[in-house]
Amino acid sequence: MITTFVDMMGWRLETADGVDIPVSFNPGSSSVVADLQELPSTVHSASWVAPASYLGDKGQHMSVIYEEPNHPRPDRLHHGRVQVVEGNFRHASSGAPVSREELMMVLSRLQGVHLRGLYFTETQRLSLSGVGLEEASETGSGRRAQNVEMCACPPDYTDSLPYLSQPGLGTEQEGQV
């Protein structure tokens, strides 16, 4: 079954050069809001930065990107959804497609999630809400998960990606949970 993890506390908004833009958390709507009216006109890009609760173990450095095919329109609410499969991501440095193994490594050692927030120079206010990660498990009350891989690891193995580093280890089955 699928459960969804959502934690809107702790999201930050920062400019392309890493300067934080003040935000406030609205508990009523479980959203994060930034007033951009006082933002210098030289700022043309800003990204929402996920809190540590969305991240994985620290590890190797690899940056991958997903580009939204439908850009937001001015004065319109934008709903985005990303299916996290290797075909949807490219390496940030080269633009080359991300392999399944690379995506699994990135997800297990996720160090940052940045969502582009600023698309228009005359934007006065940004808000972010409902950012969730879906997780499949054998328990839960959500809908039935499709195409879930079950890892078959030795009992004493603790690495999150044994099949990348050990020959003979891999997925035991694909199916529904």
Domain co-membership, 84 together with 45: yes
**C-alpha distances out from residue 21 to 39, 64, 123, 157, Å:** 8, 24, 14, 42
Query: How many domains does the chain divide into?
Result: 2
171 and 123 part of one domain = no
Query: Residues 40-73: pLDDT tens digits?
Result: 888 989 999 999 998 876 667 889 999 988 888 8
pLDDT for the residue numbered 59 = 65
Is 115 in the same domain as 177?
Answer: no
Could you report the per-residue pLDDT of 118-136, keeping only the tens digit for each?
A: 888 788 999 999 999 887 7
Q: Which of 57, 56, 31, 45 is nearest to 131 (CA)?
A: 31
Q: DSSP states of 48-110 as a string?
A: EE--GGG---------EE---SS---TTS--------SGGG-EETTT-PBPPHHHHHHHHHT-
Whether 121 and 177 share a structural domain = no
In a shared domain, residues 121 and 158: no
Q: 59's torsion region: left (phi>0), alpha (psi -120 to 50) or beta?
A: beta
Which residue range forms the structural domain that includes residue 99? Answer: 2-137
Q: Model pTM?
A: 0.75
Higher-scoring residue by pLDDT: 33, 57: 33
Q: Which of 148, 62, 147 is nearest to 112 (CA)?
A: 62
Residues 91 and 163 in one domain: no
| Residue 72 sits in the same domain as residue 19 | yes
* Whether residues 97 and 154 fall in one domain: no
pLDDT for residue 85: 87
Q: Which of 14-18, 88-92, 128-132, 144-148 has the lowest mean pLDDT?
A: 144-148
120 and 163, same domain (yes or no): no
Question: Do 104 and 163 belong together in one domain?
Answer: no
The reply to whether 91 and 12 lie within a common domain is: yes
Q: What gap in Å lies between CA 177 and CA 173, rounded to an integer?
A: 11
Which residues have a Cβ under 8 Å from the Cβ of 12 and sit 6 or more positions away? 20, 23, 48, 49, 51
Residues 105 and 129 in one domain: yes
